[in-house]
Amino acid sequence: MTRFLHVVEWLGNALPHPVTLFAMFAAGVVVLSGILGYFEVAVVDPRPEGAKGRADNGMIEVVSLLNADGLRMIVLNLVRNFVEFAPLGTVLVALLGVGVAERSGWLTALIRGMVLNAPPSLVTVIIVFSGVLSNTASEMGYVVLVPLAAVVFYSLGRHPLAGLAAAFAGVSGGYSANLFIGTVDPLLSGITTEAARLIDPTYEVDVSANWFFMIASTFVITAIGSLISLKVVEPSLGPYEGTPELSGDEDEHRMDPLTSDEKRGLWRSLWATLAFAGVLVALVAPEGAVLRNQETGGVAGSPFLKGIVAIIFVYFLFIGVVYGRAVGTIRSDRDVINAMAHAMSTLGLYIALVFFAAQFVKFFGWTNLGSITAVAGATFLQNVGFTGPLLFFVFILVCAFINLMLGSASAQWAVTAPIFVPMLMLLGYAPEVIQAAYRIGDSSTNIITPMMSYFGLIMAFVARYEPKAGVGTLIAMMLPYSIAFLTLWSLFFFLWTFVLGFPVGPASPTYYVPA
């Protein structure tokens, strides 16, 4: 295992920056399309006659971009590819609201209140649960909850690394699970939509596509993470006999109980949440309500589901302002604007990544390389008879392995979605289910790969309590979580989707039936 992890670390370090990687992928697609186009590579189109986008000759042929027509297409659409890339706008809008809630202190106070007020017997459970919820605010879980959990355990006379591991498992190992729709949902659904349209040009994956399954997964991850912490990790660490090298005021401040202002702010945010929920119910629940589907009268395909990003934006903006006014962190409209601007300022790398990822995805679609790869892969699986739901276990393992070397969820899905989504759609599975399975593989190995962007920060927290600890120490401590999440979460997915037949989200089909 040590040799394997060293190889993974070496391979990951050998990869260029994700932005460079996508630029290379985009250029590679252009060159490959020219080569395959020269040899007139093509496959039989499996879609029925008359289907939108199906050629008259019934073939899917490689379209070369390595010629005059291709160059003109690239030049004319470079900006449009970026601007119209589905995940870009949805993530930016959602983060405008989340940024206000985070900057006001509401998210931090909420997590602190849950952890610091938990009964000693439930501390581990609350820490893992809080870690899962914290991914709503991106780095907040890594920066605040992980070191806080270590301090809480140390103050209780327990091994601080056991608390750190429990928090890290919830924050990163359970990254995709949540009770709420977070910023990762519009990001992934946008990429999935782009990939699904390689087969069905009109297909759209809602932001809420995996909501039901992720709500249930929150409690599954909490149970698994708590059990591994209490029965495996903490006993293996034994009693802590060292002296922590804490940074003083910063950690002591994080251990402070909630102030009266913070408590008042949280109570007001609770009432505000109930009021917001009441308004939302009034707009969705009654027959003929404003946010229902005006054609069918149902919730499926309604403005409520299609506009969930707008609702996320309004909710977090509303809560952030209510809490901020109570505690004094938001006094005027300038503070709200500054919070939004701060949230946008953290997205520089994401925007650069999206520009090149958008070009890669579009080029892949224009050249028909995605469709041809999907048809060839689906045909191979059909020929060998491997088309049943058990296929998803292999798919999850592949995603988990790729995640060891390409730690960014958006970067990995942008690379793999154009291949796997069309392939599995041709085998009869809906993009919503494929995306849910991907999220299991992507999350489960976050905690054991040095390629994860916050791995270095977690190592720094570990070194406060074990100065001689290395990368192997952290990986060995987190490996039981990773194995348990990958195994049990995958089994839960299979049970939920294919045995019990539950949908992974509102109006999310399990199987894809071509129109």
Q: What are 105-128's pLDDT values in tens digits?
A: 887 788 777 777 777 778 899 999
Residue 115 CB burial class (10 angstroms; 0-12, 13-18, ≥19): buried
Tell whether the model's pLDDT for residue 145 goes beyond 90.
Answer: no
In this prediction, residue 496 carries a pLDDT of 96
Mean pLDDT of the chain: 83
| Residue 262 CA to its chain's centroid (Å) | 30
Measure the CA–CA gap between 193 and 229, rounded to whole angstroms.
37
Q: Which residues contact 364 (CB under 8 A, 6 or more apart)?
A: 29, 198, 370, 418
In this prediction, residue 409 carries a pLDDT of 64
In this prediction, residue 14 carries a pLDDT of 67
In this prediction, residue 47 carries a pLDDT of 62
18 band by pLDDT with thresholds 50, 70 and 90:
low
Instruction: Taking each helix axis as running N to C, give the angle between helix 123-134 and helix 106-116, from 0 to 180 degrees, rounded to the nearest 10.
Output: 160
Task: Report whether 310 contacts 252 (CB < 8 A).
Answer: no
Q: Which residues contact 322 (CB under 8 A, 6 or more apart)?
A: 265, 268, 269, 272
In this prediction, residue 179 carries a pLDDT of 85
Instruction: Give DSSP secondary structure letters for 309-372.
Output: HHHHHHHHHHHHHHHHHHHTS--SHHHHHHHHHHHHHTTHHHHHHHHHHHHHHHHHHHTTHHHH
φ, ψ dihedrals at 41, nearest 5°? -70, 135
In this prediction, residue 168 carries a pLDDT of 93
Residue 202 CB burial class (10 angstroms; 0-12, 13-18, ≥19): exposed
Task: Report whether 328 contacts 262 (CB < 8 A).
Answer: no
Q: What's the predicted TM-score (pTM) here?
A: 0.72
Q: What average pLDDT does the segment 193-203 reach?
A: 87
Task: Report whether 94 contacts 186 (CB < 8 A).
Answer: yes
437 band by pLDDT with thresholds 50, 70 and 90:
very high
Q: What average pLDDT does the segment 43-58 reach?
A: 66
Measure the CA–CA gap between 364 and 275, rounded to whole angstroms.
46
249 band by pLDDT with thresholds 50, 70 and 90:
very low
User: For 392-434, how does the pLDDT look when each residue is reduced to its tens digit (9 = 90+)?
Assistant: 999 998 888 878 766 566 667 877 888 889 889 988 999 999 9
Token pair recorded at residue 417: 């979605």
Measure the CA–CA gap between 304 and 7, rounded to whole angstroms.
47
515 band by pLDDT with thresholds 50, 70 and 90:
low
In this prediction, residue 221 carries a pLDDT of 95
In this prediction, residue 246 carries a pLDDT of 54
Tell whether the model's pLDDT for residue 321 goes beyond 90.
Answer: yes
Query: How many residues does this entry show for the chain?
Result: 515
Q: What average pLDDT does the segment 93-115 reach?
A: 81
- Percent pLDDT > 70 in the chain is 87
Which DSSP helix (H) or strand (E) runs through 83? helix 68-83
- Percent pLDDT > 90 in the chain is 29
Q: What average pLDDT does the segment 368-373 reach?
A: 77
- Residue ranges per structural domain of the chain: 2-499
The amino acid that residue 476 corresponds to is A
In this prediction, residue 79 carries a pLDDT of 92
CA angle 413-419-423, nearest 5°? 125
Tell me the C-alpha to C-alpha distance, in Å, between residue 179 and each of 129, 131, 135, 265.
10, 12, 11, 21
The amino acid that residue 78 corresponds to is L
The candidate with the shortest Cα–Cα distance to 247, out of 167, 148, 105, 103, is: 148
477 band by pLDDT with thresholds 50, 70 and 90:
confident
User: Lowest-confidence range among 118-122, 354-358, 490-494?
Assistant: 118-122
In this prediction, residue 30 carries a pLDDT of 92
Tell whether the model's pLDDT for residue 248 goes beyond 50.
Answer: no
In this prediction, residue 58 carries a pLDDT of 73
